[in-house]
């Protein structure tokens, strides 16, 4: 448990318990919680959740995903290499499965980069029904809008100043920054690309997601439940 905490310092005891079970230990959350608290491994409390945007007629602005490839979310995150130079990441997730489909890393990202990243994903997964994003120039550029329409998808831009409408991607971005960007030093852009891709694969295949019952969005293997050792 302590070794996992050293490796994933921002995980809580429930997520650590899920990793222990995946490693073969027959242990529930409560059994991990007691030594967790005794060792002082508590993670700081999260900030209160924000409310949704409600219209005058009482309806909520929200397009809810119903299946894979129904709604994808795109957003940009800013960071810096150790020499102080800025770089950006284009994060694209499937809102239904919570899988991070791609993270494009570059010093600058323009509408052409957005089209290239989406085109690669369309080849692998097919076109989604909707692509949700904020109103940044990289996403609302006419070239991007026309290209998305041409491939048979629709855009779902959020209301200006309402990031909670893109809540799935905002939640991913917060986890990306808290668990990874804030604890890594990138010596170069190439190193950032390699480490970020490794983290993306870990998030998809190994990291327990509470909303998915502490299972990863795209696990690589299926653990045989009846072969797990008992924790003494």
State residue 45's pLDDT score: 55
The CATH code of domain 71-212 reads: 3.30.420.10
Report phi then psi at 211, rounded to 5: -70, -20
pLDDT at residue number 112: 93
Domain residue extents for the chain: 2-47, 71-212
Which pLDDT does position 55 carry in this prediction? 45
Burial 100-127 (b: 16+ CB within 10 A, else e): bbbbbbeeebebeebbebbeebbeeeeb
Alpha-carbon gap, residue 120 to 115, rounded angstroms: 9
Q: What pLDDT was estimated at residue 31?
A: 82
What is the structure's pLDDT at 22?
A: 80
CA distance 124 to 42: 40
- Return mean pLDDT, the chain: 82
Cα gap 38→149, rounded to integer Å: 56
Segments of the chain with pLDDT less than 70: 43-62, 159-165, 220-232
| Phi then psi dihedrals of residue 79, to 5 deg | -155, 180
For residue 104, which of 122, 86, 116 has the smallest C-alpha distance?
116
Q: Which two tokens stand for residue 12?
A: 């809580």
Helix 111-125 crosses helix 142-150 at what angle (to 10 degrees)? 20
Chain position carrying tokens 């919570």 = 98
* In the block, residue with structure tokens 């991070």: 100
pLDDT tens profile 60-75: 446 788 899 999 999 9
For 180-221, write each residue's pLDDT tens digit.
Answer: 999 899 999 999 999 999 999 999 998 887 777 878 888 765
pLDDT at 36 (0 to 100):
78
Look at residue 46 in the predicted model and tell me its pLDDT: 55
The reported pLDDT for the residue numbered 90 is 96
Instruction: Check residue 124 and give its pLDDT.
Output: 92
- Neighbouring C-alpha atoms within 13 Å toward the C-beta of 20: 25
Contact 133, 157 (CB under 8 A): yes
Q: Which residues pair with 154 in a beta bridge?
A: 130
pLDDT of residue 223: 42
């Amino acid at each position: 448990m302590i070794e996992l905490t050293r490796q994933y310092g921002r995980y809580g005891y429930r997520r650590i318990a899920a990793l222990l079970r995946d490693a073969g230990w027959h242990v529930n959350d409560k059994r991990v919680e007691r030594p967790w608290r005794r060792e002082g491994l508590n993670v700081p409390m999260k900030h209160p959740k924000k409310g949704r945007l409600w219209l005058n007629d009482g309806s909520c602005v929200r397009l809810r995903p119903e299946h894979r490839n129904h709604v994808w979310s795109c957003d940009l995150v800013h960071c810096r290499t150790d020499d102080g130079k800025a770089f950006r990441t284009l994060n694209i997730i499937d809102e239904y499965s919570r899988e991070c489909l791609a993270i494009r890393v570059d010093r600058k990202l323009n509408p052409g980069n957005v089209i290239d990243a989406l085109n690669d994903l369309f080849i692998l997964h097919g076109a989604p029904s909707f692509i949700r994003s904020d109103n940044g120039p990289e996403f609302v550029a006419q070239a991007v809008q026309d290209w998305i329409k041409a491939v048979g998808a629709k855009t779902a831009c959020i209301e200006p100043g309402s990031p909670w409408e893109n809540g799935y991607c905002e939640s991913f971005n917060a986890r990306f920054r808290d668990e990874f960007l804030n604890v890594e030093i990138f010596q170069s852009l190439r190193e950032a690309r390699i480490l970020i891709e490794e983290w993306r694969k870990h998030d998809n295949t190994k990291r327990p997601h509470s909303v998915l019952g502490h299972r990863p969005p795209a696990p690589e293997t299926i653990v045989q439940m009846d072969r797990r050792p008992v924790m003494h």
